[in-house]
Structure 1
């Protein structure tokens, strides 16, 4: 979920702490939603932009993907995933590529070449858009997604959303594991500090563009993406186990797993 230089240092420094994130309520729900969105990946090629340590790359492999290319700016985050893969007995189907996903991947000198444009069946961008500092950054991310996907290919990505990012359960209580503070407007959107309430907690600066957190996706539509939707939450096992706990989130969602199709 990391992009350009300032974000690189930020995620390099907190790579070890980020492994604790998976125990939070928000992480449990998002994992179930992404698992649903992925479905059967047998034989598919997957691009995981900002994929960090590869949690969802490994999920795609478990769902049958023949190849997953993780692209991230933080070598430290990817090293965690490489170490996990090295401990496995089977040969890895994950490739790790350091690059800035706000810039065209087709013009960067990548250590490992990606598949040619239009050859990926699925492109993931989980929490990636929450690190676009400008609308141009967001456009660059979407351009890489649209370029990589084959016609009819699927996009999957989790992102912060309104109105929940401004809701009391998010900005005061951090009920679901993420507390947002220091919210202020910037051109095209807002920036804030997200504190993940692990033990110990750690914080990361994020930047959210209105086109993303309002689910407008005008940039993506201009680039040929269609069929936008969100993965329903009410029927997930996580929510059904404790509907009352998740009630505030269901009323004012602070994140969504968005899907779309390459036209």
Structure 2
């Protein structure tokens, strides 16, 4: 996966200004994550550090960003040198996440869809679970198992997805996106809801909750409800909130 994103580096930051990311994706993921004050957090597939910095600024005690792309890690480290937030960025993949220590919370935005085989998907989930404490949580944005097969369905939101109408586990998906002068594409893989859940439960997560993010009030005001209807009807990604235990022990159920 690293060669798909290696050349993007700092330019990837521009995608955060896309309305879909600014008014729906990022607020939805951060709401699902909830209160991180005092927690140790691992951002798997951190890219250039967009979410990693948000987590640190929200009061997380320790934040580590992990990414398989040297170019992304270099960009994130350069931003850290400028801002000095106290974030560590590590080059590596989800499978080896356990080597970084134990965290209260792990976050992974668009990581699981890049597993090329079911065995790799399981290994990713096991690696992430191994880095989370016994009562910790894992919040991940992953591809919607029922995303639209219409390649232009998501075009109003700044990207397209090419995939077969009839999909099985491992079916290839190609996402092409752009923001400003930035244009890029990436190949990912379809996994059913059942396969996601099996991989996560085998890794040790006992409680799973699927969530569909909604636009913020600002997003509705600025762009109108009609703009969002198409996406809400068939989002390209969903959020999975995974807990290792049903215990009420913090960390930290969002309100």
Distance 1:187 1:49, change over 3 A: same
Q: Which 5+ residue runs of structure 1 have no aligned equivalent?
A: 1-6, 107-112
Q: Which residue of 1 aligns with 2:54?
A: 59
TM-score by length of 1: 0.82
State the partner residue of 1:10: 4
Contact 1:104 1:143 in 2 (8 A): no
Q: How far, CA to CA, are the matches of 1:161 and 1:182 in structure 2? A: 12
2:17 is matched with which residue: 23, 29, 32?
23
Could you say if the C-alpha distance between residues 215 and 229 of structure 1 is closer, same or farther in structure 2, counting changes exceeding 3 Å? farther
Instruction: Summarize the Cα distance change of 1:135–1:83 in structure 2 as closer, same or farther, 3 Å threshold.
Output: same
Q: Which runs of 5+ in 2 are unaligned?
A: 246-255
Change in CA separation of 1:80 and 1:104 when aligned onto 2, cut-off 3 Å: closer
Structure 1 position 82 matched with structure 2 position 64? no
Given the superposition, is the C-alpha separation of residues 78 and 187 from structure 1 closer, same or farther in structure 2, using an over 3 Å criterion?
A: same
How much has 1:158 moved relative to structure 2? 1.0
TM norm structure 2: 0.85
Helix, strand or coil at the partner of 2:79: helix
Aligned length: 242
Contact persistence 2:56–2:85 (CA under 8 A): no
**Counterpart Cα distance in 2 of 1:207 and 1:234:** 24
Residue in 1 that maps onto 2:100: 114
Show the 5 A alignment for 1:115-130.
Answer: 115=101, 119-130=102-113
The equivalent of 2:121 in structure 1 is 138
Question: What is the CA-CA distance between 1:133 and the residue it aligns to?
Answer: 0.7
* CA positional deviation for 1:58: 0.7
Indicate how the Cα distance of structure 1 residues 92 and 149 shifts in structure 2: closer, same or farther if over 3 A, else same.
Answer: same
Contact 1:191/1:206, CA 8 A, preserved across alignment: yes
Aligned with 2:92 (options 78, 89, 99): 99
